[in-house]
Chain A
């Protein structure tokens, strides 16, 4: 492995600086194929790592990521519930650079010129590519709920992107008055992490049970049913009897508007007044996908076998931003898709073997201490869509030893995927 000057990296990694790594002095005549990855999350970090690691230096890999540190949304609920501290879900990019020679640029990608094959950075720099990988995650559709806005996210935090929002939710739950009401408004489909809102409700209940046992949680869902519903409902009944009330959109008739100042949420059926609230709006693919011209509506359609955009064969879209059909928008899915894309891209740019696409996903959720459940499946690439091969889900009424083992497994998974993205 090429020696890498860590000091240089740290010193220059602010703003738009490029950390030039492996073999910077290779002759220009035999320029290596270039892959640029935008977004260093579950999809992007994995793609960059596998491209660099498996091509063993034959591909020049650049990762463009806005943040210096990636705080995972996965397990942010466990932070919320007090099972993890915040730093334990934060990860840096230095090992991608040091161990695999990925060029890490901390900047915002503001545009893509797909004819010239360049990515434009906020700093003005243009980065050329042979293949582009976009894994920017989601953006919020703030205007999908009347009264909600970027400003409103301070009083009704969504906490649906990594970062300080989830810390805000935790602070607001903990500061809630005795016997107060927390209102959670989960998003409409499709959205990132289908069981996520309900795990969040569970974790908030876990805190309140200890600190504020008379408090109530009302869930005003923007859909009529939800992922692992039977398991969550059973768990809420067992662990938090009488605390959580879930009201589906069939019952409340839809969210009409919210008032971020008074924390009032009006539905067709009633107006709810919260003492603290979290609202997760509808979502769309991170904006760079639209800038690259690969979206159709809110999301980017892909060719299942390669994860290449249906609109541009030189651009691959991974993770939440893509239309992955049967696969849920999850970190596990994004990580899995990244490996399929990396394999296809290596095959196209070097002469490595290309194997058939195979995808998988498991989403673990924690309901209360040592009560973990999971749902998962594996998938194959159909012509048009990613299709389910086989699937499973935890059962209601499982014994506590199994639930505990499931929780422990989720901890193992977190360690695994973190290493698979960043080590």
Chain B
């Protein structure tokens, strides 16, 4: 099989050197200075997925070279049974299959670990799918505003406070997740912060979470992010 990982790495070595990795935005987007910025809707993915030179698997697998790699093939990522089965029937992601998947992930691949409701708007979907398949890995800009909540990320986190505050989260967020409500254990801090900020700013609209997030100050958000990052995901 083509070692796509290797090629990417090589071709972007020089890119890495010129990458400006700014503050807390470490590694989410590496820059080659050329590539198209991700579409707006990609914000919905970054809590769980990374792309770019330093992209790692987090809650979800990294998304580099999505159009070249076999489905479900990122080393070190534990895919769901459902996705593995899907991978047996489909070699690589296409505009069609990825589009259908992102429309309603849990409907298209029943049993997927991806707890994302889906992108309803076709225009948004097309844009995102095209970017993911054709542009993403040749990579985006470092635009600092990709990740929200820098002020919270800069805070000193009090783990005891985080544990206390987490009481409010775990009435609904079960370890391992459940239908309708995702797992939040083991999330990377900055992603956790980013998502809470999206609720705070009503980029994400679920009123339960908006109400929760609006009351959280940076100290609380930092404490929670550190606490949940410290718990191993199931």
Contacts and interface: CB of A to CB of B under 8 A. Distances in A.
Interface string A356-398: 0010101000000000001011100000000001111010000
A236 interface: no
Interface stretch (B1-9, B51-59, B81-89, B169-177): B169-177
B142 to A, nearest CB: 34
Interface in B164-183: 164-165, 167-168, 170-175, 177-181
Nearest to A377: B211
B208 A392 contact: yes
Interface residues of B, number: 28
Interface stretch (A75-83, A256-264, A409-417): A409-417
Interface in B83-120: 117, 120
B168 A409 contact: no
Contacts of A343: 164
A419 B171 CA distance: 8
A417 B173 CA distance: 8
A415 B211 contact: no
Contacts of B117: 405
A335 interface: yes
B160 interface: yes
Interface string B137-168: 00000000000000000000000110111011
Contacts of B215: 358, 378, 389-390
Contacts of B206: 409
B210 A353 contact: no
A409 B210 CA distance: 15
Interface string A15-32: 000000000000000000
B174 A419 contact: yes
Contact of B168 (A358, A394, A407): A358
Given A377-B211, A415-B174, A416-B173, A409 B180 contact: yes
Contact of A335 (B171, B181, B207, B212): B171
Given A339-B167, A420-B171, A411 B211 contact: no
Given A355-B165, A405-B117, A408-B179, 11 more contacts: A335-B171, A339-B168, A358-B165, A390-B215, A392-B208, A409-B206, A412-B178, A416-B170, A416-B172, A416-B174, A420-B174
